Structure 1
Amino acid sequence: MSEQYDVLVIGAGPAGYVAAIRAAQLGMKTACIDDFIGKDGKPALGGTCLNVGCIPSKALLDSSKQFHNLTHGFESHGISAKDAKIDVGAMVGRKDKIVKQFTGGITSLFKANKVTAISGFATLKANRVVSVKDAEGKSTDYSATNVIIATGSQPIELPFARFDGKHIVDNAGALDFSETPKRLGVIGAGVIGLELGSVWK
């Protein structure tokens, strides 16, 4: 017999976690399922946006803007910054700390609103049964009166251009460079592509 919920939300990104919290606030027994694993190897709520998208790219964008202002915008104020350098490791570390704060905030909101967080890959089956496979490969079935699918998107790896972590990376890889690339081509002019292009420029 599978555990029964009023609402099961598949996906813990900005659409999913907000839907789960609101359903719980309206008095429904609610769970939210997501399979994202953070850099620390632990489950992380927030989906692409909070983990490897909008929030981390904006954190890096803020840092790179500060560096740009230091090297290009302060001379008119009489401020000189000769031989300014950027510590990419520290910049990425700051980004990681911000991501951890945001994802931890969602965990706290789930606890406060009595939303059950379930870590694993969800498969929707007949009659609103959701099978969740955890990191160890164990599957557990859950059933619900209502299922909300909020799975978002992920980058497409082309068969002739695999992500190798060095020459070809996805958005997650572009958030974790160890140094500023000498050359960088960005395919995709969405928010993340534009922001990461600006960061590394």
Structure 2
Amino acid sequence: MLFQKRFWLGIADGSVTLAFRRWGRQQVLPGRPYRTAAGIIDVTDVTVVDPATISDDDARAAGHPDAVSLVADLPGDPANPTYRIAFRRAAGPDPRAELAASAELDPAEIARITTRLDRLDRASSYGAWTRETLRLVEEHPERRAGDLADMVGRERAPFKLDVRKLKNLGLTESFPVGYRLSPRGRAYLDATRD
């Protein structure tokens, strides 16, 4: 789920436990975890509500001072249903962080990573990118995404999306500015270097 930066601290400290969204169709399901920039959340309830019934207490739980400001700030088409999403911060660590920290790769795990990277390369409309991107991140740690994208002649937004795919495999880590190879990513490159 996407949240504006102003809500990240409240999500992380547990003071923000609600979100309201206008969607053409429901985008999240109760009982499932979702990644946010503030960490993983567990969605506990999703209901359709009339925006006029949103209380000041609900607005404060969503990080707004009152219901009037929340409704005024509500993104999306007003013709769409308004969803009230209740959530809590997930208790455990982000599985991607645990995966990224595992630098002991046996041959079977190296083969699994290679298969996944090959699949991403084949699915790409602009050709093989995974190893080039890993090497780029290795050579330019914590460099702005736009700079890295320019180095390989790509647009920033799709480049960032691709790096996120590598992060989902535990191969990169995000920083306030740019990325670094994770221990797992470094171990993979070291094991497969010609």
Q: TM-score, length-normalised on structure 1?
A: 0.27
Structure with the largest fraction of helix: 2
Q: TM-score, length-normalised on structure 2?
A: 0.28
**Bigger relative contact order, structure 1 or 2 (CA pairs below 8 A, ≥6 apart):** 1
